Amino acid sequence: MEESHKNILRRNRTNLVKDLDPSNLYDGLLEKGVFTHDMIDEIKSAGTRRDQARELVRDLETRGSRAFPLFLECLQETGQHSLAELLQNGAPAVKIQPATPTQVDRPVVQPLPITSPMSSVTVYPMPRPSPTSSPSPESQDIRPRPPVRTRRDSIQSYKMDASPCGHCLIINNVEFDPESELSSRKGSNIDCEKLERRFKALNFIVEVKTNLKQKQIKHQLSALSKKDHSQYDCCVVIMLSHGTEVSHSRFPGAVYGVDGQFVPVQHITNYLNGQHCPSLQGKPKLFFIQACGGGERDTGFEVSPDEVEPSIGGADDQTDAIPMSSSSDSLSMSDEVDARATLPTPSDILVSYSTFPGYVSWRDTQSGSWYIETLDRILEENAATDDLVTMLMMVNHEVSQNSAKGLYKQMPGSFNFLRKLLHFQT
């Protein structure tokens, strides 16, 4: 498919997923050769109407130059005129060329050998090259895909249609006690406001807590775990603070309270795991950590010119780093029974970090942190069409292009224990 047509589909993907009725299109797309029977069956197995629409639009981009105009034809034929007009408004005029008729292969008649009277050598006339029909570009474009080996039922989507979808707790630590020797996190309120708006738009009940000490952080997490989540489909925890690297067995890093005492990320996730919060069993628990994983600064490495993209960052960039602590002396392990060090392996948990463990995380005092600014924009632009893990890869890529003070880099990442795809409500 031409790049211009792909761009049209991507720009209008939200409306297509929301309004497209795939079931009426299958016969036409099959008859016109856009998809094969196997591909139609695969799209049908995606699940709900929205999931099928999402899969159809994604697969359409792989189906060659005739796929876009034939798709428009099918929309018109099935009465989905508003979507057809929406796509046509930004599309260059396309003339659909009929497929080149297939030529019948005929046997090649070989001439009889000619024997020279002056010699016993038998001479064969040079055969004339037979014209071979080369398939047209259009017929080459639409071709069957190799069989999909992945079981579709093994990567179904989480149920995410409850209203509200679930709770979202944001802990925003900005002003730290002087005795903590931790600096004020200018720009964090910008991050907090962005995420509060974003997750409200994704139909979450958002609660913001500001400038919490270590025990207050643990108290809020404990209170969240004791809520009845049975009528909800998901739970989100967002930590905006200074951080450090600590010894761990599963999830690295720790987040500081404003009193200079930290809570390991591993303990933060334990509050909501299946053992301590039964009403969230089997449901996705998402943790977004905007804090440093350590004190190292990444200067990056050289890449080929085609990998280089414009980077941002300037003199106002700060880090959320505190030197690594080798012990948990500042954490009283007896404060909460939920904060035990050894718990069963979590399931349905995803922890997204703003930076690679051991490295600093950059924050602009005027516009907020690189990670949150990018995460907010990616969710706004892609939540209607893409799953969470795909969007986090987009975040990883974009943040990796940034450069602080023209020198330092940052690489977000995640620990993913989700068992299914996660699509937010939009």
Task: Kindly tell me if the per-residue pLDDT of 110 is higher than 70.
Answer: no
Average pLDDT along the chain: 76
CATH class of 166-298+308-416: alpha beta
Per-residue confidence (pLDDT) for residue 145, from 0 to 100: 55
Written as one letter, the residue type at 31 is: E
Rounded Cα distance between 282 and 260, Å, is 34
Exactly one of 5, 167, 229, 242 is catalytic; which is it? 242
Q: Is 30 helix (H, G, I), strand (E, B) or coil?
A: helix
pLDDT at 392: 95
Question: Alpha-carbon dihedral of residues 27, 32, 33, 39, nearest 10 degrees?
Answer: -20
Structure confidence by residue, pLDDT tens digits, 16-25: 888 899 888 9
What is the structure's pLDDT at 260?
92
Q: What is the percent of the chain where pLDDT is above 90? A: 35
What is the 3 state secondary structure string of 353-376? ECCCCCECCEEECCCEEHHHHHHH
What band does 343 get if pLDDT is binned at 50, 70 and 90?
A: very low
- Per the model's pLDDT, the better-predicted residue between 50 and 300 turns out to be 50
Q: Whose CA is closest to 29, among 90, 100, 98, 78?
A: 78
Assess whether pLDDT exceeds 70 at residue 306. no
Confidence of residue 223 (pLDDT cuts 50, 70, 90): very high
Contact between 4 and 91 (Cβ < 8 Å): yes
Tokens of 87: 């796509």
Q: What is the pLDDT of residue 362?
A: 62
The stretch 215-232 carries a mean pLDDT of 96
The domain segmentation of the chain, as residue ranges, is: 3-97, 166-298+308-416
Active site residue 292: yes
To which residue do tokens 């913001």 refer? 208
pTM of the complete model: 0.58
How many whole angstroms separate alpha carbon 407 and alpha carbon 405?
A: 5
How high is the pLDDT of residue 358? 56
Q: What is the pLDDT of residue 355?
A: 80
Report the alpha-carbon angle 407-411-414, nearest 5: 170
DSSP string, 241-304: S-EE----SSS--EEE-TTS-EEEHHHHHHTTSTTT-GGGTTS-EEEEEES-S-SB-B------
> Which residue carries 């709770």 as its tokens?
167
Most confident of 102-116, 136-150, 172-186: 172-186
Q: 301: alpha, beta or left, given left = phi > 0 and alpha = psi -120 to 50? A: beta
Mean pLDDT computed over 318-343: 37
Amino acid letter, 254? A
> Considering 5, 168, 292, 423, which one is annotated as catalytic?
292
In this prediction, residue 323 carries a pLDDT of: 37
More confident residue, 64 or 218: 218
Contact 368, 191 (CB under 8 A): yes
Q: For residues 49 and 23, what is the distance between their CA atoms, to the nearest angstrom?
A: 8
CATH class of residue range 3-97? mainly alpha
The tens digit of pLDDT for each residue in 32-46 reads 888 888 888 888 877
